[in-house]
Amino acid sequence: MALKLTDYRTEVHNDWCPGCGDFGILSAVQMALAETKLNLSDTVVVSGIGCSGKTPHYVNVTGIHTLHGRPLPFATGIKISNPGLNVVVVGGDGDGMGIGAGHFVAAGRRNVDMVYIIYDNGVYGLTKGQASPTLKLGTKTKGLIFPNMTSNINPLILAMACGYTFVARGYSFNVQHLKSIIKAAIDHRGTAFVDVLQPCPTYNDINSKEWYNGEDRSAENNGRPLPRVYTLESKGYDPNVNTDAGRDAETVMLDAFKYASEWGDSIPIGVFYRNEEIPTYGDRILERIPEYSALPPAKQRIGNGNRKPVADIEGYMDELSV
């Protein structure tokens, strides 16, 4: 039976604040899963802790709400042990760029075939608005007593430097565009990273929906909003690495860095970098273990039916004894 968009929704009560950008991201994820026709039982959404971390409760697939900063290691284990699953990882900017930053770097180097979406609101929403690693130095949101004392990370540039093979940015109030980015991320072979600009009206009054939409600049535009967010597609930008056609990784990355550095009056969204010339972690395992695709760890027998492990653990222990 063909799945509908409503099949990807749950009845769980949603307690995000009214006007939160998280709603747009949730809709885009559900729409992308539905349009990609991902099977409910073969799809897993893994989250960290934060307002963003509640997402798996609202998507009707297998959901795992893990620890703060740890969704990537959980997801890596899930995908490697059961490569037939579709894995989508979600978490906050604090989760991924703060406490989970080491895992963010390691995931880029591995290139496991999965999607990672960061909800980028510049604050620690769940814990009442402290500055997150993406908030600009000197910014004073209404949730802070003093302006932010720490410089920010640019998640897109960090992702490219770490080896992510698909790097994109979306905006939570352009749901159709975000949906198309998430679909492209699902289709990508390798780790696809999507940073989503997500207004938090409760704690971040600086990077608000009105600010992204340029409503504060209407005086400069005959009374109409002058949006800060624009799409890379509208510039004819090509994010694809194609070494045979003379667009090697370094060439594309230099173009991507230029756009990814833009902020303030104009903020690009879209796919910045896509490289399918790098083997996935699964490809690398397969090279070493030929039976991996037919018999990945999740499909292997661990017991003999008599509650005894198949592996000869006592034999291993004997080998290790000194």
229 interacts with, out of Mg ion, ligand SF4, ligand TPP, none, CB within 5 to 8 A per kind: none
Alpha carbon distance 25, 257 (integer Å): 25
Residue 227 found at the interface with ligand SF4 (CB under 6 A): no
- CB-count burial class (<10 Å; 0-12, 13-18, 19+) for 322: exposed
Q: Which stretch binds ligand SF4 (CB under 6 A): 13-21, 244-252, 266-274, 313-321?
A: 13-21
Please give the size of the binding site for ligand TPP, defined by CB under 6 A.
17
Least Å from the CB of residue 123 to Mg ion: 5
Residue 51 contacts ligand SF4 per CB under 6 A: yes
Footprint of ligand SF4 on 117-176 (CB under 6 A): 121, 125
Of 92-100, 185-193, 286-294, 297-305: span binding ligand TPP (CB under 6 A): 92-100
The rounded distance, in Å, linking the Cα atoms of 67 and 63 is 13
Q: What is the DSSP string of 3-22?
A: --GGGGB--PPP-PPTT-TH
Which residues make up the interface to Mg ion (CB under 5 A)? 92-94, 121, 132
CB of 55 to ligand SF4, least distance (A): 11
Residue of 3, 7, 136, 201 interacting with ligand SF4 (CB under 6 A): 201
Spatial contact of 239 and 273, defined as CB atoms under 8 Å apart: yes
Contact call for residues 158 and 141 (beta carbons, < 8 A): no
What's the start-to-end Cα distance of the chain, in Å?
59
* Binding segment toward ligand SF4, per CB under 6 A, in 14-22, 63-71, 151-159, 274-282: 14-22
CA 118 → CA 72, 194, 240, 283, distances in Å?
A: 11, 6, 22, 26
Find the shortest distance in angstroms from Cβ 21 to ligand SF4: 7
Asked whether position 50 contacts ligand TPP by CB under 6 A, the answer is: yes
CB 85 to ligand TPP: min, Å: 24
- Whole-number minimum distance, CB 56 to ligand TPP, in Å? 13
Q: β-pairing, 267-274 with 166-171?
A: antiparallel
Collect all residues with Cβ–Cβ distance below 8 Å to 287 and sequence separation of at least 6. Answer: 279
**From the list ligand SF4, Mg ion, ligand TPP, none, partner contacted by residue 201 (C-beta under 5 to 8 A by kind):** ligand SF4
Contact residues for 101 (Cβ-Cβ < 8 A; gap 6+): 69, 133, 153
The Cα 97–Cα 94 span in angstroms is: 5
Interface size with ligand SF4, residues (CB under 6 A): 11
> Which residues in this chain contact ligand TPP in the complex, by CB under 6 A?
49-52, 68, 92-95, 119, 121, 123-127, 132
